[in-house]
Amino acid sequence: MQTGNRFRAYPTLAQEQILLQWIGHQRFIYNAKVSEDRYYRAFEETAVALSGTPVPVDQEYARFIGESTPWLREVPSQILRNGAVLWKQAYGRFCSGLAGRPTFKRKDGTQSVWITSELFCFKYNDKTHTEELGLGTRKFPVGVLSFTAHTPYSRPSSLHVSVEAGKWYVSFSSDDGLPEPKEEETVSWLRMFTEEELEVRTLGFDRGVAVPVVASDGRSMDLLPVHKSRTERKERARRRYQRRLARQKKGSQNRKKTKRRLARSFEYGKNVRKDVVHKATHTFATDPERSLFVVEDLKVNHMTKRPEPKKDASGGYVKNGARAKAGLNRAILSSCWGLFVLFLSYKARRNGKLVIKVSPKFSSQECARCGHIHPDNQPSQAEPCKIGCQRCGQRDNADRNAGLVIAKRGIRLLLEGDVQRKPVRRCGIGKRKQLGQELSEDKASGEENKTRRSKRLRASSAKEELSVARPETPTTASA
């Protein structure tokens, strides 16, 4: 089964300069491919379409090395090639509907370089009894990069070296040799149990803002008080660094120091939340008494959208609650709802267990004992820890009751055979010989676009076509 590893690396000052150079050169090639794609799309329906220029969706990078960019030869050619490959992979994901169109990479934030097997090798050191990572070639040597491996791993075919807030990391994916259980087999095995047996093996999770996750058995996932106090202190420091950064001169050394401190203030909260989620999901996924996990199918992206602006009769803008909504969005995103489901899903799959999603409608208003749904079961959001059924009189913790309701919905969905398996969409680029609209746009528009284009071309004169095509397309020299 494929598993990912991310180890802390400790390069020397000389190695840092070389790796930063590799990162910058690979980013330049990637951004050059993005710029080239934008250029051709800007003229695809006018000059380029009339000239019959082929689609430049390729991995070529030699055309970017010229008199104005001789410094691109200061790094191995594989670094430049990998930058072009990364762009083509991103473009393939866009064509398959898996992501948006590739955009420019910035110099700020987390930076990384993709290194393939031609530029690194793992060697076992007999003296220290550890493996060493050698980087570079004879022409472009880097040396041995020190790193700390906190878990066993197998040697990969490619890896990424990244820097975040001044800290370096080595990350790669490898096969651990363990068989990966299939989801269909897990579903078939669970459907062999009765409803009463599944109730014992099932765990439902209710996600909220006050307490990020509460399980149907009463267990919960939340930050410790020391984590919350330190996060608040980092938040105050972050605002102080941002004010200081706004006053400093661009390009100065003090500004660089402030940016690094600002990045580290963000890093603490992110690492704490990820650590808490990892530990909680590991505890749940390795519980021998649980085999089925049920969560709500929450659309976090839709829930954290900013409110639309409002106008009055005179056309002026009025208050739309954007400030309050921003605070709610910040609380939702810091609760790690999506990260919890992501980590729980892959850890459950490794242990031969199943995670399914159910509808979240009225889960906080439904009684887990009798199934009665009424708004008065939870009369106020100000007291979310209390719930009382209006029919049977059942009183319980509201979050625990919602977890039981979600677990029952998951069991019902499993026994009815309505568990929907998410289809796997492959990444690929269609074969197109002419520039024009995107493949998805061609399918959606059909023959209508062809008719509209032909009418437009017939309306334009030959003089106009030549005047448009001449500046953007190369002309053939006459003999």
Helix (H) or strand (E) holding 104: none
Block residue for tokens 């995670």:
355
Residue 476: per-residue pLDDT: 38
212 & 235 share domain: yes
Residue 339 resides in a domain: yes
Over residues 50-97, the pLDDT tens digits come to 666 666 788 899 999 999 999 999 999 999 999 999 999 999 999 888
Which residues make Cβ contacts (< 8 Å) with residue 392, sequence separation at least 6? 367, 369, 370, 372
Residue 52: per-residue pLDDT: 65
Encoded amino acid at 381, one letter: Q
Q: In 326-364, which positions are buried (b, 16+ CB within 10 angstroms) versus exposed (e)? A: eeebeebeebbbebbbebbbebbbbeebbbbbbebeebb
152 & 8 share domain: yes
Does the CA dihedral 132-133-137-141 come out positive or negative? negative
Over residues 257-295, the pLDDT tens digits come to 999 999 999 889 999 999 999 999 999 999 999 999 999
Provide the 3-class DSSP secondary structure of residue 477: coil
Percent of the chain scored above 90 by pLDDT?
43
Q: Which two tokens stand for residue 328?
A: 């709610």
171 & 220 share domain: no
Provide the 3-class DSSP secondary structure of residue 22: helix
Q: State the pLDDT confidence band at 179, using cuts at 50, 70 and 90.
A: confident
Mean pLDDT of 20-31: 96
Give this prediction's pTM.
Answer: 0.79
d(CA 206, CA 224): 19
Q: Which two tokens stand for residue 87?
A: 């762009």
Mean pLDDT of 427-443: 45
Q: In 166-190, which positions are buried (b, 16+ CB within 10 angstroms) versus exposed (e)? A: eebbbebebeeeeeebeeeebbeeb
Residue 425 resides in a domain: no
Residue 182 resides in a domain: no
390 & 462 share domain: no
- pLDDT at residue 475 is higher than 70: no
Q: State the pLDDT confidence band at 474, using cuts at 50, 70 and 90.
A: very low
Q: Which two tokens stand for residue 310?
A: 């409002």
Residue 49 resides in a domain: yes
Q: State the pLDDT confidence band at 428, using cuts at 50, 70 and 90.
A: low
- pLDDT at residue 48 is higher than 50: yes
224 & 356 share domain: yes
Residue 145: per-residue pLDDT: 93
- pLDDT at residue 434 is higher than 70: no
Residue 421 resides in a domain: no
d(CA 123, CA 301): 45
121 & 228 share domain: no
Burial of 427 (0-12, 13-18, 19+ CB in 10 A): middle
* CB of 296 closer than 8 Å to CB of 406: yes
Q: Which of 6-10, 103-107, 313-317 has the lowest mean pLDDT?
A: 313-317
Mean pLDDT of 108-136: 90
Identify how many contiguous H helices and E strands the chain contains and give both numbers.
Answer: 14, 16
- pLDDT at residue 38 is higher than 80: yes
* CB of 99 closer than 8 Å to CB of 145: no
58 & 111 share domain: yes
Task: Give DSSP secondary structure letters for 259-270.
Answer: HHHHHHHHHHHH
Residue 174: per-residue pLDDT: 85
Residue 372: per-residue pLDDT: 77
Q: State the pLDDT confidence band at 381, using cuts at 50, 70 and 90.
A: low
Q: Which of 126-135, 294-303, 338-347, 423-432 has the lowest mean pLDDT?
A: 423-432
441 & 408 share domain: no
pLDDT mean across residues, the chain: 83
Q: State the pLDDT confidence band at 478, using cuts at 50, 70 and 90.
A: very low
Structural domain that includes position 23: 2-177+432-472
Q: What share of the chain is helix, strand, coil (3-state, %, to 5)?
A: 45, 15, 35
Over residues 142-157, the pLDDT tens digits come to 999 999 998 888 889 9
Residue 477 resides in a domain: no
Residue 379: per-residue pLDDT: 59
Residue 26 resides in a domain: yes
Residue 320: per-residue pLDDT: 86
Q: Which of 224-233, 437-446, 465-474 has the lowest mean pLDDT?
A: 465-474
Provide the 3-class DSSP secondary structure of residue 255: helix
Over residues 221-262, the pLDDT tens digits come to 999 999 999 999 999 999 999 999 999 999 899 999 999 999
Block residue for tokens 């030549």:
466
Residue 461: per-residue pLDDT: 36
Residue closest to 218 by CA, chosen among 371, 407, 414, 413:
407
Mean pLDDT of 433-444: 40
Residue 234: per-residue pLDDT: 92
d(CA 102, CA 57): 12
Provide the 3-class DSSP secondary structure of residue 320: coil
Q: Which bin fits 177, alpha (ψ -120 to 50), beta or left (φ > 0)? A: left
Please give the residue that has the higher pLDDT: either 307 or 372: 307
170 & 196 share domain: no
Residue 305 resides in a domain: yes
88 & 161 share domain: yes
How many structural domains is the chain composed of?
2
* CB of 355 closer than 8 Å to CB of 422: no
Q: State the pLDDT confidence band at 210, using cuts at 50, 70 and 90.
A: confident
Please give the residue that has the higher pLDDT: either 422 or 14: 14
Residue 72: per-residue pLDDT: 94
Residue 393: per-residue pLDDT: 73
Provide the 3-class DSSP secondary structure of residue 210: coil
313 & 441 share domain: no
Residue 383: per-residue pLDDT: 53
260 & 127 share domain: no
